[in-house]
């Protein structure tokens, strides 16, 4: 990374208001990781404090660990127009039961999803015990499964057991995926990661500031980005009665046309928009057109914690027509963000209507 350490002379002039020069590194020694420009354009700035429609956050996690923290989260949700949060626990057994007990004070505001129990996945006879635990979690209140996750080495997100080397399209997963169809439990699945993480970490990688932190290019034996999306496609097509939600635009932000092809061929597939606002707000016109075309297949989500600022930046990107702004509290790419100015019909579907269909409400 040392060869990427310096930014060209003069680039600091884009940073807007700076601390006294004595406290700042010189342009010759400014590290890429410390380059946080501020927009100096005198253009409209929109504050969107509340979602246009009562929103369902389809991608949250168990951020609140105590009853008091759960109470505070509900207050933040009320202030920002979040009607419900789907808490993707990825857990089974006692871990799941404890979370159900914690969040049960607000049954209408939180919906908890469980994970899969991969115990013995590498042994003969794997399947029936995992299906039995899935049924038990359903009986305990789970209404979906997720977040499952596979960045190329296997399904490793669920706790307590990780399944290295087994992917969503593996025949060993068939019993679980079919049981989800029987129970009408949708599955949230994280496949791959943003494309920049798989690219070489060099001067040509325009997502380097964020990609370097999450790099996957240096991991041997990993399934590449295209291969992971192909795995998703095969699994979704083999289980047409199971509803899948590919989180983060199926990590196809760099090529929404690939996601469009999946939508066209897989009516049982949705995608959540969580944690990919920076990637898609960089190309606002193309992204807005994609939202308009596939407004029935996208659902709102955050996956960035529960602070007020998280909700407000997502609303600003979706609803405003603001141009060329940054939010270094939430995003770490160098490029500016732009509002998508989505229309009311699109916003209502993305914020709420599509989620209600997935949740069978």
**Is residue 6's pLDDT more than 80?**
no
Co-location of 18 and 87 in the same domain = no
Co-location of 65 and 21 in the same domain = no
Considering the domain boundaries, does residue 327 fall inside one? no
Dist. CA 127–CA 337, nearest whole Å: 45
Co-location of 27 and 175 in the same domain = no
Dist. CA 99–CA 137, nearest whole Å: 12
Taking the CA of residue 144 as centre, how many other CA atoms within 13 Å lie in the half-sphere pointing to its CB? 26
Co-location of 24 and 123 in the same domain = no
Give 2's pLDDT tier (boundaries 50, 70, 90): very low
Query: pLDDT, tens digit, for every residue of 211-225?
Result: 999 999 999 999 999
Continuous segment of H or E residues that includes residue 163: strand 163-164
Neighbours of 240 (CB within 10 A): 12
Q: What is the mean pLDDT of residues 184-190?
A: 98
The whole domain housing 301 covers 46-322+332-358
pLDDT at residue number 161: 87
pLDDT at residue number 164: 93
- Return the CATH number at 109: 3.20.20.140
Co-location of 226 and 134 in the same domain = yes
Query: pLDDT, tens digit, for every residue of 233-258?
Result: 999 999 999 999 999 999 999 999 99
Co-location of 115 and 18 in the same domain = no
Query: pLDDT, tens digit, for every residue of 80-114?
Result: 999 999 999 999 999 999 999 999 999 899 999 99
Give 168's pLDDT tier (boundaries 50, 70, 90): very high
**Is residue 140's pLDDT more than 90?**
yes
- Domain tally for the chain? 2
| Pairs from 116-122 (Cβ < 8 Å, separation ≥ 24) | 116/92, 116/145, 116/148, 116/155, 116/158, 116/176, 117/92, 117/93, 117/158, 117/161, 118/155, 118/158, 118/161, 118/162, 118/163, 118/166, 119/161, 121/161, 121/163, 121/166, 121/172, 122/163, 122/165, 122/166
Co-location of 12 and 141 in the same domain = no
Considering the domain boundaries, does residue 204 fall inside one? yes
**Is residue 124's pLDDT more than 90?**
yes
Co-location of 303 and 345 in the same domain = yes
Structure-model confidence comparison of residues 19 and 175, the more confident one:
175
pLDDT at residue number 283: 98
Considering the domain boundaries, does residue 259 fall inside one? yes
pLDDT at residue number 18: 41
Concatenated DSSP letters for 290-338? HHHHTTTTEE----S-S-HHHHHHHHHHHH----SB--TTT---SSPB-
Co-location of 9 and 77 in the same domain = no
């Amino acid at each position: 990374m040392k060869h990427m350490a310096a930014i060209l002379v003069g680039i600091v002039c884009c940073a807007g208001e700076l601390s006294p020069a004595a406290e700042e590194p010189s342009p010759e020694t400014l590290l890429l990781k410390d380059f946080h420009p501020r927009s100096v354009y005198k253009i409209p700035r929109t504050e969107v404090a509340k979602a246009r429609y009562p929103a369902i956050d389809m991608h949250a996690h168990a951020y609140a660990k105590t009853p008091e923290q759960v109470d505070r989260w509900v207050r933040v949700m009320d202030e920002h127009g979040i009607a419900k949060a789907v808490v993707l626990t990825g857990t089974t057994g006692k871990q799941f039961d404890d979370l159900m007990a914690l969040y049960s004070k607000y049954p209408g505001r939180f919906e908890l999803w469980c994970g899969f129990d991969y115990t013995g996945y590498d042994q003969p006879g794997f399947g029936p015990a995992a299906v039995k635990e899935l049924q038990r979690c359903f009986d305990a209140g789970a209404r979906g499964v997720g977040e499952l996750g596979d960045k190329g080495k296997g399904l490793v997100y669920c706790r307590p057991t990780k399944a290295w080397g087994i992917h969503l399209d593996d025949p060993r997963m068939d019993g679980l995926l079919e049981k989800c169809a029987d129970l009408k439990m949708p599955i949230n699945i994280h496949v791959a990661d943003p494309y920049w993480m798989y690219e070489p970490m060099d001067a040509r990688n325009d997502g380097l500031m964020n990609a370097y932190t999450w790099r996957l290019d240096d991991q041997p034996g990993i399934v590449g980005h295209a291969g992971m999306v192909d795995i998703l496609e095969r699994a979704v097509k083999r289980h047409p009665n199971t509803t899948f939600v590919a989180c983060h635009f199926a990590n196809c932000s760099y090529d929404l046309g690939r996601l469009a092809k999946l939508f066209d061929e897989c009516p049982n597939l949705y995608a959540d928009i969580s944690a990919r606002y920076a990637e898609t707000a960089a190309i606002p016109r193309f992204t807005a057109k994609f939202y308009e075309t596939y407004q029935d297949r996208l659902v709102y989500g955050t996956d960035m914690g529960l602070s007020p600022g998280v909700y407000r930046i997502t609303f600003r990107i979706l609803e405003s027509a603001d141009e060329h702004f940054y939010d270094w509290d939430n995003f770490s790419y160098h490029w500016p963000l732009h509002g998508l100015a989505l229309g009311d019909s699109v916003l209502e579907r993305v914020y709420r209507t599509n989620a209600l269909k997935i949740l069978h409400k």
